[in-house]
Each structure stands twice: as structure tokens, then as C-alpha cells.
Structure 1
Amino acid sequence: MESIIPFNKPYLTGKETHYIYDAVNSGKISGNGKYTQKCQQFFEERYNFKKVLLTTSCTDALEMAAILANIQPGDEVIIPSFTFVSTAIAFIRQGATIIFADSYSDNPNIDADKIEELITDKTKAIVPVHYAGVACDMDKIMYLATKYNLLVIEDAAQAIDSFYIGKDGVKKALGSIGHLAAFSFHETKNIISGEGGMLVINDSRFSSRAEIIWEKGTNRAEFFRGEVNKYGWVDTGSSFLPSEIIAAFLWAQIENLELIQNKRKMLHNCYYDNLQSSNLITLPSLPPYATNNGHMFYVVTENSEIRSELISKLKEKGYHAVFHYISLHSSAYYSDKHDGRVLSNSDKFTECLLRLPLFYELNEVDVVDMAKCINNY
């Protein structure tokens, strides 16, 4: 039976084309116009980000971060193996050696207690990935960064509107804690612009250079603010900034952030409540220092065979459930470069993690039906 309920369906608020029309008719559709600046100001004010630059993707934001971190050939960068390839490739392109860390046994996030043993005199940065919008243990990670003089670059692709609660009880937005952070607005994320992302700069020493890298290695942004009387090529960079069309689409989503978040979190909780009685699967665990942003709902099966059978059973009922990342340390591209350590938890999530449909227009009836299908398996 062909799937009736897809894994994901992009949600349109209704204002996207209106704002795109406005951008087009303004005569300014290249980057860094009215809508770009509105979006950037919103994120800076709402989440206490020091400086925000919209990008054409989260991958671009990570690549900018790798340039800003001055990653050189031979430098080592610590990242979780259970993540998307962009987390690694942004640093590999700068010549880095990737040192893969394992996940927790009950959580796909990087095991913060296993990071210190991976640090050497070649280590330059730690890149925690907030999987499913659930915070990594940022107090431990920032402690290590201070102790060893390392940079922390948060891969917050899935983590918009999610928070970390520190040991001091202070609640901080994910992406506001590390020196740099990268977010995604891909169509599978909570708020979207088709493709799109943003770089967050929390360390002021990177602010000026970030703008230059963003603008193809020129000081064009300073010129348009009247800070210099002409602009030219002053550094490396690329065309990282998105057009006003992308930013206008994103602005319509931002205006509906609360509505979108409330619905997604309700659906997440509905899944959780209806799957608690199942002894066939393990439900996501939420550490006491993390919040849930309703980005994703996943379960972990006992083995890959059960996962495959559940995918088939759900498909028969008209629901499209999917697996997720293949551990990067075992990938065709990097397996011969990995140092050979066994990362058993990352491998477990590769084999056993199952993602269930979660998008704004999904209804509770379907969530309950999918849960029933799993419970009755």
C-alpha cells in the first residue's frame, strides 16, 4: 500500500508568498535586505544570540564556522559519529582529522564523559550535535573547552527553540552557549525556508570576520553601513548569504513559531503517552538539563530486524516511518581513516533507531493509530 501519511510534510502558514511578493516588488531580492535583517534581529533578541547571519544552509553555516575557527590540515575536531555528514565535511574541507566520539547508551547525543580522553595537543574544536533538539551536556563540554583552550561549535540544526538548563539553574537557548553555532531551516525542520540556515556568533572576536566570509571575502557589509568608503577583497569567503526570497519565506514561519511549536510538542507528547506500555521499544530519554522542542519522535528497537518489520507494518497501514544516520566512522568515505575504536552506542542507533512521522498537519488520531500498530506488533 502506498503511504498516505508521509514522514514529513512542509507546513505553509499562508504568508510566505505574500512576503516573497513584497520582497520581489521592493527591488531588492539579493541577500541582506529587509527580510534578512528582520529574521536576524528576531533570533538575536529572542534567544540572546550575540550575532546572527542567515545562510543558504546549515552546511554553509558549519563551513563558515570551520573557516572562522582557522581549522588547518592536521588539526583534530571531535564530533559524534551519529550525525549527518555535514557536521564532519565542513571541517574535512579545511583539512581537519575527525575524531569520532560515541553516543550515550540511552541518547544519541555525544557522550560528554568520553570527550576528554579524545583530546590531544592537536585538538582544535568540539562540535556537539543536539540530536532531535535535545541538549548535549553543555556545562561539561564548555568546562573542557576552557580547560584545554578549545572552541565549541554547536551543531544545532535540529534545535531551534530548545534550551539547556545549566547547573546554575539558568535556562539558555541552544546555540547561545558555544563560541559558534549552526542552525538549519531545511524543509524537514520545525521552521523552514526550503533550504536555509544560520550561523550564530557568540564570541565577538569572530563577528567582523564572519561578515566578510559571508560576503565572498569582501567588506561589502561595512560599505553598505557607511563604515568604509569602498569595498574590496580582504579575506577568504564564499557566497554564503541567502536571497531575500528565502528570508521572506522564513519570516512568515517565524511569525508562527509559537503556533508551530505548540502543535509539534503536543504530537510528540501524544506519541510518548501512547507508547509507554510497549516493551518492544525504548522511548527517547530527556536529560534533566534539556527541553523538548518537538522536532522529532523516535523509538529504539531491540535489533534491526524488528525495526525493519515495524517499518513494513506501518507502511501497510499507510504510514511512512524511516531510520536515520549511518555512523560516520563506518562510512565508505571515512572508515579507513577512523582510528579503529568501537563506538557501540552509535552503531546501536544506526541499527535500531526508528523515526515516526511528525509534522504540523499530522493529527492525534494518526499518532494514536501508529502507536497502536507498534504496541500490537
Structure 2
Amino acid sequence: MKKIPFNKPFLIGKEVEYIAEAVKSGKISGNGMFTKKCHEFFEQRYGFAKVLLTTSCTDALEMAAILTNIQPGDEVIIPSYTFVSTANAFVLRGAKIIFADSEAQTPNLDASALEELITPRTKAIVVVHYAGVACDMDVIMECARQHDLIVIEDAAQAIDAYYKGKPLGSIGHLAAFSFHETKNIISGEGGMLVVNDERFRDRAEIIWEKGTNRAAFFRGEINKYGWVDVGSSFLPSEVIAAFLYAQLEHLEQIQEKRVTLWNQYYDGLLSLEEQGRIQLPVLPDYATNNGHLFYIVCQNLAERQALIGCLKEHQIHAVFHYLSLHESPFYQDKHDGRKLPNTARYMDCLLRLPMYYELENEEQEFIIEMIQKFFEE
């Protein structure tokens, strides 16, 4: 069997053709023809009020932190089991991070424990839809409403996923998506800010354009543009937008394949869960499955490491995921000392299996067979 990587970038349509078209148009800097096509796609398909492509999901989160007007000493509630960008965006503005534990059944933030984390200094809640599975947004939004807090959805993994029929990214005041090469829809690097709250609409575009009202100038709304706010160079080039748009044209095809792969993993490994050997992903009744990633939860760290080693011997690259941010070298001295047991369990026991558009059936069957053999032995 040939080597099976954890992830593999892919071409599915007119990526190269559209990049050449962008170059020939005479404009490959940001906010050109393909950027506008991507914006229209998301606004029309998912009903997002306003979207802005960014160079990464990290940049979209940093824009959200600026828009939220985070000041030094403000508190922001964030799950500890997430990528560093989720927290870093707010730390850069001076926020104190209050880390939340995960649920027992999913790595998502435990919404039932939110209330006890809120203080008079709390400014925002950032939720991460892990593996594209929705957090319990009704509970979160009601809690935010009662305390006048802003909700930011870190929807990096959540394209084309839903909560009670609503697209993820459309529920919070702001949302951030990723098109990194490990995601369902890719552009190498790339991201998107979604603005659902009218309060932030105009300012988001100014921050996106380096703190200027340049976008309004090019629409003919003003006769000159200048520096009017803070901002940075958040918008991506037309090369990235062209690649992304070619992928968006095949969104349904990509999603269908990934969900099929996800279901085949689930069906193939279900007997191990029934034997109590592993935990498979749990899909709450309010959430849909977008096939972003497939993971299993082992019994302990030693077992997971042994399984990783076994798969590696058979040329299969399976990987763990996040290290707990509250125990990180950077933040452990700033954390309030609370234990987060579910976060610790996912850090030690969660293992992600290869998942990408071009993963072949026989390769997936081989992965499932090797995992089954490992637990038999």
C-alpha cells in the first residue's frame, strides 16, 4: 500500500484557468472580480449579511477583535480546546482569556457552564464549531443577550454546516471561516469574515482596507479616500480569490464526497465503539455533519500513541489535534487554575484520521482494517 497522508490539497475545476484570467485582467491585488464573485456566492447561498475575504481565518478573527473594540483587561470566553489563533486575536488587543471546558460528548465549548464564567468584565464569547459540528447556539445566544455580550463564531471548520437549519456563521454577531489547505474548500491560505450585526458593517470594510474608506471610493460613494480608522492589510490577492471561486463552484460535489468518506469511517469503526474500545464522533440532533474531519477518541494517551505508531508502520499518517491552551507555555501563568477535564481528555486521546477529497475507497478500507487489527491485538 502506498503512503496515505493525513491531508492532500486538490484541484477540482478551473483553479488554474481562473488564476490566469485574473492575471490577464490586469489586477491581481485584492478586491477584484473574483473577490466579488466569492462574496456574492456566500451572501446568496447562506444569506450572510456581509462577507469579506481575508488572507486567513486568523486575520478574520483579528478583525473581529478590533470590531468588538476589545480593550486591555476585557475578558473573552474561549474554549481551551482550539487553535491558538482563536485566542491570539483577542490577546493582541489586550484581552484576558477565560478558558471554557469542552463537552463530554463533543470537543465543543460546554454551553451549560457558560454562566459561571461571566463577570462584569466579560465582553465577548468565542465559540468554535469543532469538526463542523454546531455548538448549542440557542443557549449561547440567550446567555449573550442576557449579559449584553458579543458572540463570535470561529467557523474555521464549519463551511456548509447547520444548526437547526441555520448556516453556521450566520448566528453570532460575527463569524470567521478558513480556506486553509486542510479545510473542505481550499485556497492554500485564506479566510473570510462574516458580519451579521449591522453595527459592524461599515467599519469592517474600513478595517479590511487598512483603515481607509478606499472601498467606498471605488464604488463612487465618496470623491476621495483617506485614513479614518485603525486597520491592516487583511484582504487577499485575486490569485487566492480565483482559486477559491473555482472550488466554490464544486462545493456540493466536494461536500458529498467528504460526507460519504465520513459515513464510511463511522460504519467501519462502529463495532469498536460498541465494544467500548473507542468513542466515535457524536452528532447532536440540532447539528448537521459537513464531513470536515473524522476522529476517534482512544482510552488514554499511551493507547493513542501506540495506534499512531502502528498506523505509521503501515504508511498511514494519523494525527492528534490541539494542546490545551490554558496549559500552554504562554498562558498557563495567566490561567485562573481551574481544571478542564474534558479538554484534557481530548488533548490526550483524540486522533484524527486521513480525510481529503481524493482519498480512495481502498485506502480508506485499509485504514479501517489496520485500526481494527490494532485493537484486536
* TM-score of the two chains, using structure 2 as the length reference: 0.97
Does residue 70 of structure 2 align to residue 71 of structure 1?
Answer: yes
Deviation at 1:187, TM superposition (A): 0.3
- Residue 257 of structure 1 is matched in structure 2 by 251
Deviation at 1:14, TM superposition (A): 3.8
SS in structure 2 of the partner of residue 99 of structure 1: strand
- Residue 322 of structure 1 is matched in structure 2 by 319
Contact 1:277 1:375 in 2 (8 A): no
Output the CA distance in 2 between the equivalents of 1:17 and 1:320. Answer: 29
Output the CA distance in 2 between the equivalents of 1:116 and 1:356. Answer: 35
Output the CA distance in 2 between the equivalents of 1:14 and 1:172. Answer: 28
Deviation at 1:65, TM superposition (A): 0.2
Q: How does 1:212-361 map to 2 (within 5 A)?
A: 212-278=206-272, 279=275, 280-361=277-358
- Residue 58 of structure 2 is matched in structure 1 by 59
- Residue 168 of structure 1 is matched in structure 2 by none
Q: Kindly provide the CA deviation profile for residues 68-115 of structure 1, in whole angstroms up to 9, marking residues without a partner as x.
A: 000000000000000000000000000000000000011100000011
- Residue 25 of structure 1 is matched in structure 2 by 24
Output the CA distance in 1 between the equivalents of 2:215 and 2:305. Answer: 51
SS in structure 2 of the partner of residue 376 of structure 1: helix
Output the CA distance in 1 between the equivalents of 2:339 and 2:85. Answer: 22
Deviation at 1:318, TM superposition (A): 1.4
Does residue 95 of structure 2 align to residue 101 of structure 1?
Answer: no
SS in structure 2 of the partner of residue 282 of structure 1: coil
Letter in 2 for 1:314: L
Deviation at 1:189, TM superposition (A): 0.2
Q: Kindly provide the CA deviation profile for residues 153-190 of structure 1, in whole angstroms up to 9, marking residues without a partner as x.
A: 0000000000001xxxxx10000000000000000000
Contact 1:54 1:199 in 2 (8 A): yes
Deviation at 1:371, TM superposition (A): 1.4
- Residue 184 of structure 1 is matched in structure 2 by 178
Letter in 2 for 1:213: I
Deviation at 1:269, TM superposition (A): 0.2
Alpha carbon RMSD of aligned pairs, Å?
Answer: 0.9
* TM-score of the two chains, using structure 1 as the length reference: 0.97
Contact 1:57 1:186 in 2 (8 A): yes
- Residue 362 of structure 1 is matched in structure 2 by 359
Q: Kindly provide the CA deviation profile for residues 183-215 of structure 1, in whole angstroms up to 9, marking residues without a partner as x.
A: 000000000000000000000110000000000
Contact 1:51 1:200 in 2 (8 A): yes
Unaligned segments of structure 2, at least 5 residues: none
